[in-house]
Amino acid sequence: MAELRTAEELLEITGRLLGAKLLDSSTAAGDLSILVPAQDIRSVLLTLRDSEETQLNLMSSMTAVDYAPQEPRFELVYEMYSVDLHDRVRVRCRLDDTGSESELPRVDSMANDFAAANWHEREVYDLFGINFVGHPEQRRILLPEQWDGHPLRRDYPFDGKPAWKLGATVAEPEARFDILES
């Protein structure tokens, strides 16, 4: 078995490949984590996939983090893995909230390049409300199609009655009782 490359070595390689697109990086706990601009996320992931030096060809996980009230609010996290070299790189990008509920933050979809991204992005759309431009079938995956709101956002209530406020299509308890009787 070949020796695994350290996070520092990987950082040197990715820094050379990405140039100015590499905004920030961390090598905490031996894992390389890099921050890139949101508009370049597709080109960065494709560069890392197609380069002979990195070969990060497997998207093992993809998710979002809501840092509200910090700005920019959302962070997308792509866990990239190399099947042949066994390296792991975490690619992150930050997205601003649009400030309106009808208009969701937008980012390029990776679903046409990595089949794995299809369901991951549907999950992020479902739970965080982030619009993936170019996704073949962007619809909710875990929650019912008529659900209102995006539960993993920090401002979505955790429990109690206010949760129904966001789910505006669900009637108040009394109204539901009326429906049952009629």
Partner 1 sequence: MSMDLQNMTIEQNEPGKLMTINMGPQHPSTHGVLRLVLELDGERVMKCTPHIGYLHTGIEKLSEHHNYTQNITHYCRMDYLAPMNNELAYCLAVEKLIGGEIPARASYIRVIMHEISRCMSHLLWIATHALDIGASTAFMYGTAEREKLLDIYEFVGGQRMMTSYIRIGGCKSDVPEGFDEMVRGWAEGFGKEIDRLHGLLTKNPIWLERTKGIGPMSRERTISYGLMGALLRAVGVRQDLRKDRPYCRYEEFDFDIPVEQEGDVYARYLVRMEEFYQSRRIVLQALDKLKETEPETHMWELREFTPPKRADIYKDIERNIHHFKYWTEGIKPPAGEAYASIESGKGELGFYVVSDGSAKPVRVKVRGASFVNLAALPEMCEGELIADVVAVIGAIDIVLGEVDR
Residue partners of 51: CB distance under 8 A and separation at least 6: 17
Nearer to partner 1, 16 or 72 (CB): 72
Residue 7 to residues 1, 23, 25, 122, 138, Cα–Cα distance (Å): 18, 16, 10, 30, 34
Residue 143 beta carbon to partner 1: minimum distance, rounded to whole angstroms: 6
Nearer to partner 1, 71 or 145 (CB): 145
Nearer to partner 1, 33 or 109 (CB): 33
Residue 122 beta carbon to partner 1: minimum distance, rounded to whole angstroms: 9
84: Cα separation from own chain's centroid: 25
Residue 174 beta carbon to partner 1: minimum distance, rounded to whole angstroms: 25
Tokens of 118: 């299809």
Nearer to partner 1, 100 or 146 (CB): 146
Nearer to partner 1, 114 or 125 (CB): 114
Residue 136's Cβ-count burial label (10 Å; 0-12, 13-18, 19+) is: exposed
Question: Residues in the site for partner 1, rule: CB under 8 A?
Answer: 1, 4, 28-29, 31, 33, 57-61, 63, 65-67, 77, 79, 83, 86, 88, 90, 114-116, 118-120, 127, 140-145, 151-152, 156, 158
**Distance between CA atoms of 70 and 154, rounded to whole angstroms?**
11
**Distance between CA atoms of 162 and 8, rounded to whole angstroms?**
47
Residue 73 beta carbon to partner 1: minimum distance, rounded to whole angstroms: 13
Residue 104 beta carbon to partner 1: minimum distance, rounded to whole angstroms: 19
